[in-house]
Amino acid sequence: MRRVITLAVADQLLCLRGLSPERLRFEVEYGLERGTSANSFFIPGPEATLIHPPGESFRGPFLEVLQRHCPLDHPLAVVVGHVNPNRVGLLRHMAMVYPRLRLLASSAGVKLLQELWTPPPPRQGAPAPLIDPQPTPPMPPLRMIRGEHQMHVGEPDDHWQLRLYPAPTPRWPGGLLAHEDRYGILFSGKFFGAHICTEELEESHGGLHEEDRRFYYDCLMAPMAQQVDNVVDRLEEFAIQALAPGHGPMISQSWRSLFNDYRRWGEGQRRSPLSVALLFASAYGNTAALASALGQGIAKVGVRVQSMNCEFSSGEDLRQAIHSSQAVLIGSPTLGGHAPTPIMAALGTVLAEAAPGTPVGVFGSYGWSGEAIDLLEKKLQDCGFPFAFPTLRVRFSPDAATLKRCDEIGTDLGQTLHRQQQQQQQRRVAGGLNDSRSGPSLQALGRVLGSLCVLTVRRGPLSGAMVASWVSQASFTPPGITVAVAKDRAVEQLLHRGNHFALNVLASGREKGLMKHFLQPFAPGADRFVGLEVTESPHGQPLLQEALAWLDVQVCQRMECGDHWLIYGHVDHGALLDETGRTAVHQRRSGAYY
């Protein structure tokens, strides 16, 4: 059940927090399924100020709470920090009930508000709506914020100074941050957030929600790491005492550590010699969700993603991204049977500037048809570009399974680019021994043995599996194990704190069949368990009946270890399937590979 609570942040500053224990959407950043919180901030005064309103999802309870603090006939200024159809839907309803409403948005935000304010008429042949849509109110007065803008808020005898700063990124071109001088609070909008349903105003100690913030970063920020770094660098100039993000609790004790985390998490992206240009436009956020999932999969294997929203990117920026990338992906919605003009311009740039043989990919969301996607695909095919993956066509909003498939497609593309780079390097050295992979220390490391297992996991409609040999018992009380999982494994995103998985220990002499099955390449989204005899553990995890033993494990901690995640979990259940068998082990010649 969605509700809105009021939290006192400081004198005359309130947080109106929307709480949802369930994920609001199937977008990739909600993948941990820990619900969400949507923060807005209210300052009373002769003209009340609302900073960063939530979306339509919280409309009923939010407007009910807002009216307690701000009567309907009172002047209200709204700082719109993020513009999408969901938020515009709420603003329309606010305009109906608050006649003295005015909006402040960045220049890109104003453009998006104007485009989205009036819903498009239903397309010919579309089914009639179940209820008559409400009339669209006139747009309230708009104030465009082009650079730093200062405004006095609060009571006349005790006013505060609020500074507004545009912070555009490809995913959020209408980004607008606000900084309050008295208490040093940065209202950071989409930056530094985490999707957690919590009533606590701020974190009780630094790092409490680090896993949630890292997941949020990997889903949304990593595909545009360079632009995010630019924003973080700019924020260093502010006199910050606390961060007030749009999602999750406030951060006062460890905000500087979080700045450093953002830089550290994006470091691999910045240093990568490989790059993918990810070009898109998105009318209602669905194509942007596909772009985020593709970008997340590419980024997790250490390939730099140059994410470009074509509506707000210059031709020169597009050309530079295409010239410096080893693959180009382009995504579009279909509007009125056509691709948006910025996408057509971007397609022309790709056709003119991309090197022959550059791998390309096409993706997009549509409602009643998909002409834009078909057009992009045909133009690229006619010009002889090889396709990195079959064209992705998604009707309406992508579901969790589709987003996982996009993530896997991105990972496969990144791995392919890495293999091609390694082959080129090997040809250059003419086949000599690579000392880094055959040195004495790595030969010694390879003698550390591990049990051969198959890790299997199922969470709702999603499932996955991988061969695991870096496995060890880690504790007696409670019984626990650790398993190392490479960051580029598709199964990794299903192994977060609170998730369950099964560890199927293979039997010596009978391991080859299962290993052959799970070591084969699977197409993105493919069912890994077809043709196998599979039962379920008490927590619903897949159990392989050909195994020697199984363990049902709950993830308790994750630790980042170079190119792997070390997963620690408590063993809840387990059993031997063959009391006379022996455990299969993996003998390696080098610690440089499995």
What's the pLDDT tens digit per position in 365-424? 988 778 999 999 999 999 999 999 999 999 988 988 899 999 999 999 999 999 998 887
pLDDT grade for 118, boundaries at 50, 70 and 90: confident
Buried (b) or exposed (e) across 275-313, using 16+ Cβ within 10 A? bbbbbbbbbbbbbbbbbbbbbbbbbbbbbbbbbbbbbbb
Whether residue 239 is found in the same domain as residue 346: no
Q: At what angle do helices 371-382 and 341-353 cross, to 10 degrees?
A: 10
Whether residue 37 is found in the same domain as residue 93: yes
State how far the Cα of 380 lies from the Cα of 343, in Å rounded to an integer. Answer: 13
Residue 145 pLDDT: 97
Say whether pLDDT at 45 is over 80. Answer: yes
- For the segment 28-56, the average pLDDT, to the nearest whole number, is 93
Whether residue 308 is found in the same domain as residue 213: no
The number of folded domains in the chain is 3
pLDDT grade for 130, boundaries at 50, 70 and 90: very low
**In this structure, what CATH number is given to the domain that contains residue 504?**
2.30.110.10
Write down which residue in 401, 419, 437 finishes a domain.
419
Structural domain for 502, as ranges: 447-586
What's the pLDDT tens digit per position in 188-204? 999 999 999 999 999 98
Write down which residue in 265, 297, 327 finishes a domain.
265
Say whether pLDDT at 55 is over 80. Answer: yes
Whether residue 242 is found in the same domain as residue 297: no
pLDDT grade for 31, boundaries at 50, 70 and 90: confident
Residue 122 pLDDT: 55
Say whether pLDDT at 433 is over 50. Answer: no
Residue 335 pLDDT: 85
Residue 400 pLDDT: 86
Output 26 or 259, whichever has higher pLDDT.
Answer: 259
What's the pLDDT tens digit per position in 575-593? 999 999 999 999 888 888 8
What's the pLDDT tens digit per position in 150-164? 999 988 887 889 999
**In this structure, what CATH number is given to the domain that contains residue 76?**
3.60.15.10
Residues 6+ apart with CB under 8 A from 365: 282, 284, 286, 287, 289, 290, 333, 394, 395, 396, 397, 398
Whether residue 260 is found in the same domain as residue 319: no
- Residue 326 domain-assigned (yes or no): yes
Whether residue 139 is found in the same domain as residue 55: yes
pTM, entire model = 0.87
- Residue 436 domain-assigned (yes or no): no
Whether residue 559 is found in the same domain as residue 452: yes
**In this structure, what CATH number is given to the domain that contains residue 379?**
3.40.50.360
Token pair recorded at residue 559: 């630790």
Whether residue 564 is found in the same domain as residue 477: yes
State how far the Cα of 288 lies from the Cα of 284, in Å rounded to an integer. Answer: 8
Whether residue 249 is found in the same domain as residue 286: no
- For the segment 455-482, the average pLDDT, to the nearest whole number, is 95
- For the segment 133-162, the average pLDDT, to the nearest whole number, is 89
pLDDT grade for 60, boundaries at 50, 70 and 90: very high
- For the segment 259-273, the average pLDDT, to the nearest whole number, is 89
| Cα angle 83, 84, 88; round to 5 | 80
Whether residue 80 is found in the same domain as residue 189: yes
- For the segment 111-134, the average pLDDT, to the nearest whole number, is 67
Whether residue 400 is found in the same domain as residue 476: no
Whether residue 190 is found in the same domain as residue 45: yes
- Residue 97 domain-assigned (yes or no): yes
Residue 97 pLDDT: 96
